Each structure stands twice: as C-alpha cells, then as structure tokens.
Amino acid sequence: MANLKTTYMGFELRNPIIVGSSGLTNSVENVIEVEKNGAGAVVLKSLFEEQILQEASKAISAGVHTNSYPEAFDYISNYSKESAVGNYLDLIRNCKKAVKIPVIASINCVSSSEWMEFAARIQEAGADGLELNIFILPSDPRQSGEENEQAYLNIVMNIQKVVTIPIAVKLSYYFSGLAKTALTLSWTGISAMVLFNRFFSPDIDINTFEVKPSHVFSTPEELSISLRWVAMLSSRLHCDIAASTGVHNGEAVIKQLLAGAKAVQVCSVLYKNGFGEIKTMLSVMESWMDKHGFKSIADFNGRMSIKETDNPAAYERVQFMKYFSGIE
C-alpha cells in the first residue's frame, strides 16, 4: 500500500494535504474534523494586523470623545488589541489539546511593527509553526520594487529574532523579480514558502456603485499559476515549498507534488464539498501511486520540476501563440 508520509517545515506529516488558513480553521470543532478526515496538518485562520488596528480604531471612536484624556486612547487601543490576540492564543491552546497533527498559526501582516510581540506569544501558546501571510500590493508609485521586497525581508528577519518555531512565508506573485525575491527569502532560514496567497479581488456593482468582492473561492483553472512557479523554484530554494490556490481534487495534489511541492494547501474545495473531500483526495493519490508502482511520495516528488523534466522550457514559455502554432 502507498505510503503518503512527507516532511514539511521539519514536521513528519502523515500525508501532504494541509487545510489552509480560512474561516474553516477558526474553531476547535472544525480543526478536530480536519484531523478526523485525514489532513496532515492545519493552518489556523490568520490573525490580521489590519483588522486588529481597525478594531482598535473603532473602539476609540465609539468610546472616547475628542476632548478625553490621551491615556484613554491608549487604554482602549491596547484593550482591543489584547482581546483579539488573547482569543487567538486561546484557539491555539485549545486546538493543541484537541488534535495531534501539527497546528500552524498564521498572521497576516503588512508591516513588522506589531508582530514581534504577537509572534512570541503565539509560540508560547504552543503553536507548532508560524505562517507569515504577507501581501503588500506594489501600488505606491513612489515605492521602488527593491523597497517593497525589503519590507518582506524586514518582517521575516524581525520575527525570527523572537521565535524559534519553524516559519513559513506565504507570498503573492506580485513581484518584478519573483524568483530572486523567493530565493533571497529562502536564504533567511525560513522553513517553507507557500505559493501563493489568495487576496481580495475587487468588482464593481454598476447599480449600487459599490466595490464588492469577486471570485471569493479559487477555481481549478487557477492551478497553473502556482504549478508553474512550484516547478521552477522547488529545486532552487533553500526551504520547502507548499502549493496553494486552485487545488480542487486529488489529481491536482499529485501534479503539485510532481512539480516539487512538499505539501499542498486546500481550502475552497472544502467550503464547497465539506471536509470529506480530504479523504477523496487521499484515495485518488493512493490509487495513482499504486497504479504507477510508487511506494512513497519520495519516489516521484519533484520528478516534473524544471530541473528534472525533459522539457523545462514548457514552464518558462509565456507566449500563447508560440505554444499552439510554433510561430517563433
């Protein structure tokens, strides 16, 4: 029978399927279901820097008048932050008591200012690892690409000063030099990189003139974005890679493992089909491995990476017509 064990972030996982950070992983009950249905690990719903700061601002606006004492502003702001962080720490502690699979905390950050203390407390609460979900949209024309990339490095290096648990960095593909940025981050000593995070996609309601969310869930067609970069980077980075976005079935998990991912994060398909989909994916993997004579994931992991494939140019080809018509 196929052995689905793998290693990721220094952990030995019973299989490479990780339930990614989302509303599905925001309760102990759901994390228990994640384990029951066979996942190898779980990433808890992110603690959002912007949300904490926004809640603190709302609390101040609601509870303190402009002419109040300055100390009151500090008290309410700190109380609001402490409440949000405290609830998250309780979630970590309770999940660790309830399940045996690795419990990875997640913080969604746009700066390094708030997170050094929070990260230390997350480690103290017992999280097995920490995923830094970083997305800084390069929309400021005054900010150079180098400055944007340095912001990522600053966040990682500052948090590394206060924690010893394994760190993963979840990135977007909004970089002018994605390969170089990923390689530079892998040199910092992080344990893993997750490709890619999923962010708010705006749409416009033409009747109400409001900006609304679009494409809340990923689609299977989005798999190719991460698949290309996992294949191109897996043999070059000095850390593990987990694939994320567009993974909706067992075949997609297999593809990402062939490209070189050590683990695969799933989320949207579980919203649509329930946690039982994890078992279906695992069954597909086992059947495929048995069919091709693979005893373990190590037998085929990275077999189709850019380093190992017979046609590495296929991953770097970007011209649509060049692929379909051979026009040079």
- Strands of 206-280 (E only): list them: 210-214, 240-243, 263-266
When pLDDT is averaged across residues 245-273 and rounded to a whole number, the result is 97
State which of 179-193, 210-224, 309-323 shows the largest mean pLDDT.
179-193
**Residue position matching structure tokens 């091709």:** 292
Poorest-confidence range of 105-109, 172-176, 220-224? 172-176
pLDDT at 26: 96
pLDDT at 140: 76
pLDDT at 63: 47
Poorest-confidence range of 7-16, 199-208, 258-267, 289-298? 199-208
- Strands of the chain (E only): list them: 6-8, 11-13, 17-19, 41-43, 47-48, 103-109, 129-134, 167-171, 192-195, 201-205, 210-214, 240-243, 263-266
pLDDT at 69: 38
Is the pLDDT reported for residue 132 higher than 50?
yes
Strand-pair partners of 305: none
pLDDT at 59: 42
Band of pLDDT at residue 118, cut at 50, 70 and 90: confident
pLDDT at 326: 54
pLDDT at 197: 85
Helix, strand, coil shares, percent, the chain, to 5: 45, 15, 35
Is the pLDDT reported for residue 318 higher than 60?
no
When pLDDT is averaged across residues 259-269 and rounded to a whole number, the result is 97
For 149: left if phi > 0, alpha if psi spans -120 to 50, otherwise beta; the answer is alpha
**Tokens matching residue 99:** 């399940």
Poorest-confidence range of 44-53, 119-128, 297-306? 44-53
Task: Choose between 315 and 231: higher pLDDT.
Answer: 231
**Closest by Cα among 149, 202, 207, 198 to 170:** 198
Poorest-confidence range of 3-7, 11-15, 172-176, 303-307? 172-176
Is the pLDDT reported for residue 300 higher than 90?
yes
Residues 6+ apart with CB under 8 A from 210: 204
Task: Choose between 249 and 68: higher pLDDT.
Answer: 249
Domains and CATH numbers, the chain: 6-325 (3.20.20.70)
